[in-house]
Amino acid sequence: MTWTRRRRPSGSRAGWGVVGHTGVAGLTLGGGMGRLQRHWGFSIDNMLAVELVTAEGKQLRASAEENADLFWGMRGAGPNFGIVTAFEFRLHELGQTVTQRVLLFPPERAPQVAARVREWAPTAPDAVMTSFGFGLAPGDPPFPAELAGRPVVWMAATHSGSPDDAVEALRSLRDLGPLVDTIEPRRYLDVQTMVDEEMAWGKRFYMKGGFLAELSDRYLDAGLRCLAAAPTPGCTITLWLQGGAISRIDPDAMAFTGREAPFWLGVEAEWDDRALDDAHVEWGRTTMAALQPFTAAGHYVNDMVESGDDVVRSIYGDAKYRRLVDLKRTYDPDNVFRMNQNVKP
């Protein structure tokens, strides 16, 4: 079951993720980022209870009232503790349409765009979800063909409130001299599935992720240098704005780590030619290493394509990792559930 398909006729939603074919369970147990996260929080922030079967074959329900220690661990490290058979989520009302804005800027405008984002982000309404990044311009409409393949700085904002509120909320981004500026109402389902083709199952893909501590000019310089070394146009560096509902939850309330940071950072590469595998993986690793000095503590577990004890510790931090080890010793002492970012008992 995917979030996109899990919609009630009334318009109630419990939808997260940024790709239409994202499954409910895997996304949620690692945290559950998505296009509506500033409005309503991550999927784990809206998970009221979970039912699972443990390694011993016990059927348990975990919530704030039942097995609260396990509920803490399931929200961010869930695959380590059992097989989930049911979720209970808080739903939210969302209309059929949202407002989407896309802006493309020449790379030399990156400092001005970043300065505006720094100024605007702390007061941005919860209904706005914004991504900001570096990449090579697509050649398909609504983007001019002459921009195809050129390095650009881009912003994409989705507003889940009324169209009038959306125009007002995004007004301050309009006077920066973009090469392209589109704003339009779109069906939420169309927005949620707009990258399904490029993120289709079976495509060659590599990703590194983290959380950005500050949108500094030094970060911009490093990111643009990395983009210049990208082997193909499928390489991007993206920031997703956090804050909003995400930041109003105690960081220690669950195993997930990273909600205090102002931005999530993703280094992504997708390509078709098997012969280019090594070049893209190397670009991803080199780029993330170059950006590492600008990151905050923690990692989003669903982004981690590599594993190992050091990787898992870096995801959760020492204090949460120790607590997860204690939970693992209680609920899975033989480490039956280990095909994951594994917390060893």
In order of start, what are the domains of the chain with their CATH numbers?
12-93+317-331 (3.30.465.10), 97-302 (3.40.462.20)
For the record, the structure tokens of 189 come out as 């389902």
**Residues in CB range of 103: below 8 A, 6 or more apart:** 154, 155, 156, 173, 176, 178, 180, 181, 182
Q: Across the strands, what pairs with 50?
A: 62, 87
* pLDDT, position 194: 65
Dihedral sign, Cα of residue 125, residue 128, residue 129, residue 131: negative
**Residues in CB range of 224: below 8 A, 6 or more apart:** 107, 110, 134, 151
Q: Name the percent of the chain lying above pLDDT 90.
A: 48
Average pLDDT over residues 312-317: 92
Q: Cα dist. 169→18, 120, 125, 261 in Å?
A: 21, 10, 7, 22
Distance CA 145, CA 18 (A): 26
Burial-class residue 338 by CB neighbours within 10 Å (0-12, 13-18, 19+).
middle
* pLDDT, position 13: 58
For the record, the structure tokens of 97 come out as 């349409």
How close are the terminal C-alpha atoms of the chain, in Å? 31
For the whole model, what pTM was predicted? 0.88
The helix/strand/coil state of 172 is: helix
The pLDDT-based confidence of 169 (bands split at 50, 70, 90) is confident
> Of all helices (H) and strands (E), which one includes residue 164?
helix 163-169
The pLDDT-based confidence of 61 (bands split at 50, 70, 90) is very high
> What single-letter DSSP state applies at residue 250?
-
